[in-house]
Amino acid sequence: MKTTRFETRLLHTPYEKQDPYRALSMPVYHTAAYEFDTAEAMETAFCGRTSDHAYSRITNPTVQYFEDRIRAVTGALSVTALNSGMAAISNVLMSVAYTGANVVTSPHLFGNTYSLLKNTLGAFGVEARFCDLTNPDEVRKRVDANTCAIFLEVITNPQLEVADLKSLAAIGRENGVPLIADTTVVPFHVFHAAQFGVAIEIVSSTKYISGGATSIGGLIIDHGTFDWSRSVRLKEPCAQYGAGAFTVKLRKEIHRNLGAYMTPQVAYMQTLGLESMPVRFERQAATCLELAQRLQSTARVEAVNYTGLPSNPYYELSRSQFGAYPGAMLTFDLASREACFTFMNKLRLVCRATNLFDNKTLAIHPASTIYGGFTEEQRRGMDISQKTIRLSVGLEHPDDLYADLFQALG
């Protein structure tokens, strides 16, 4: 059964050890620590010579099973599950950055990621070098000997900008710099990050994977394809561990020291969510495309942004990277901020909530919420408009969704 497909592998990843009761669901190992038979066994485990569990900040069988399933379906070298998408992003950046380093990135970033780069890492002397990642010449000019990563979101939220990943990865390789991508908006059975040169993939598993927004989580997926020999932080582990250098640094140092491992309860819920992700995504993304098409010809909607629409400037690039259904999120512009607030207040079915890819459809006015803490000038720099509504499309019937949007626009 070596040739099983994604959906099948997702459900039938074997357990590392057989459960004594033959439980069909992975039990939740609700424990902080694990007992050893001898001092010698303890020594070998603590020195990393065996993979026995010792303490649940470092590994836990339930969380490891969730990681194993994602490894099985992505073919990655390693997967680390953390307790939020932001924890995943900060663990990755703390593994590669250092005082005096810079991260070449776009100003089009998830709000907290922007703040992490600019404020939190900025305070430690790491420069966030914002530029236009859709312009490879500009990126080439901004990368230098102290660039520790090119970081981007594969479809930016909420601008829905798409950069050419293969050309960014090539610029990275020429300069010994990894391409690190937040791929939260397109699930990994649709978008194969490693094929586009992404070295480290980050996913907020709060979104598609959790299955109905049950819990917060994040994943670090190391594709094991990058040559870390020119990385200031990783050249030493690279001499010893080769392509495994990032994972060794992360698992033996950063992840233990920051202490943000996923809890077993969350891993249980998200393992279950993962099982149904492909079917939920298929439905949500198809409804999203249909709503994008219908909103395009709806009165009072000034513009619809979804990279799966042939009229979208990123359509061809998006199709070549993500296929026909680039996620289940769209945005649209109304006449003004006031029109957006009126629309939001008239919604009856669509929920006024942040978050993405819940089973329920969610609407938000990003400028006044996610980006509410930024100045108008900063918002302009990030292309956050007061006229934009973001819609995360759920599993409701598309006709019911359109009817609600239509009446709220009326």
Q: Phi and psi for 64 in degrees, rounded to 5? A: -65, -35
Per CB under 6 A, the list member of 13, 184, 271, 361 interacting with ligand PLP is 184
Q: How far is the CB of 385 from ligand PLP (least distance, A)?
A: 18
Applying CB under 6 A, does 80 fall inside the site for ligand PLP? Answer: no
Applying CB under 6 A, does 106 fall inside the site for ligand PLP? Answer: no
Measured between alpha carbons, how far is 319 from 309 in angstroms, rounded to an integer?
10
Measured between alpha carbons, how far is 156 from 382 in angstroms, rounded to an integer?
11
Encoded tokens for 109: 């970033």
Q: Which stretch binds ligand PLP (CB under 6 A): 34-42, 181-189, 249-257, 399-407?
A: 181-189
Q: How far is the CB of 260 from ligand PLP (least distance, A)?
A: 10
Applying CB under 6 A, does 327 fall inside the site for ligand PLP? Answer: no
Q: How far is the CB of 92 from ligand PLP (least distance, A)?
A: 12
Per CB under 6 A, the list member of 158, 172, 187, 218 interacting with ligand PLP is 218
Q: How far is the CB of 100 from ligand PLP (least distance, A)?
A: 26
Q: How far is the CB of 113 from ligand PLP (least distance, A)?
A: 6
Applying CB under 6 A, does 159 fall inside the site for ligand PLP? Answer: no
Q: Which stretch binds ligand PLP (CB under 6 A): 18-26, 59-67, 81-89, 93-101?
A: 81-89
Beta strands 147-153 and 179-182 are: parallel
Per CB under 6 A, the list member of 70, 76, 85, 292 interacting with ligand PLP is 85
Per CB under 6 A, the list member of 67, 153, 358, 404 interacting with ligand PLP is 153
CA geometry: angle 47, 52, 56, nearest 5 deg: 95
Q: Which stretch binds ligand PLP (CB under 6 A): 70-78, 93-101, 161-169, 179-187?
A: 179-187
- For 146-167, give the DSSP string: TEEEEEEESS-TTT-----HHH
Stated as kind and residue range, the H or E segment containing 130 is: strand 127-130
Q: How far is the CB of 159 from ligand PLP (least distance, A)?
A: 12
Stated as kind and residue range, the H or E segment containing 370 is: none
* 356 three-class SS: coil
Per CB under 6 A, the list member of 127, 161, 182, 222 interacting with ligand PLP is 182
Q: Which is nearer to ligand PLP, 226 or 357 (CB)?
A: 357
Nearest CA-CA partner of 408 in 330, 348, 331, 364: 348
Q: In what order do the strands lie in the sheet with 78-82?
A: 78-82, 218-222, 200-204, 179-182, 147-153, 102-105, 127-130
Measured between alpha carbons, how far is 185 from 349 in angstroms, rounded to an integer?
23
Q: Which stretch binds ligand PLP (CB under 6 A): 200-208, 276-284, 303-311, 391-399?
A: 200-208
Applying CB under 6 A, does 161 fall inside the site for ligand PLP? Answer: no
Q: Which stretch binds ligand PLP (CB under 6 A): 84-92, 98-106, 187-195, 366-374?
A: 84-92
Measured between alpha carbons, how far is 161 from 323 in angstroms, rounded to an integer?
15
Q: Which stretch binds ligand PLP (CB under 6 A): 164-172, 180-188, 312-320, 393-401?
A: 180-188
The Cα-based distances of 230 to 29, 134, 239, 254 in angstroms read: 40, 25, 11, 19
Applying CB under 6 A, does 187 fall inside the site for ligand PLP? Answer: no
12 touches 3 (CB < 8 A):
no
Number of shown-chain residues binding ligand PLP (CB under 6 A): 16
Q: Which is nearer to ligand PLP, 216 or 295 (CB)?
A: 216
Residue showing the smallest CB distance to ligand PLP in the complex: 85
Applying CB under 6 A, does 216 fall inside the site for ligand PLP? Answer: yes
Query: Using DSSP, how many helices (H) and how many strands (E) does the chain show?
Result: 15, 12
- For 288-354, give the DSSP string: HHHHHHHHHTSTT--EEE-TTSTTSTTHHHHHHHH-S---SEEEEE-S-HHHHHHHHHH-SSSEE--
Interface with ligand PLP in residues 346-385 (CB under 6 A): 356
Applying CB under 6 A, does 105 fall inside the site for ligand PLP? Answer: no
For ligand PLP, the binding residues (CB under 6 A) are: 84-86, 110, 113, 153, 157, 182, 184-185, 204, 206-207, 216, 218, 356
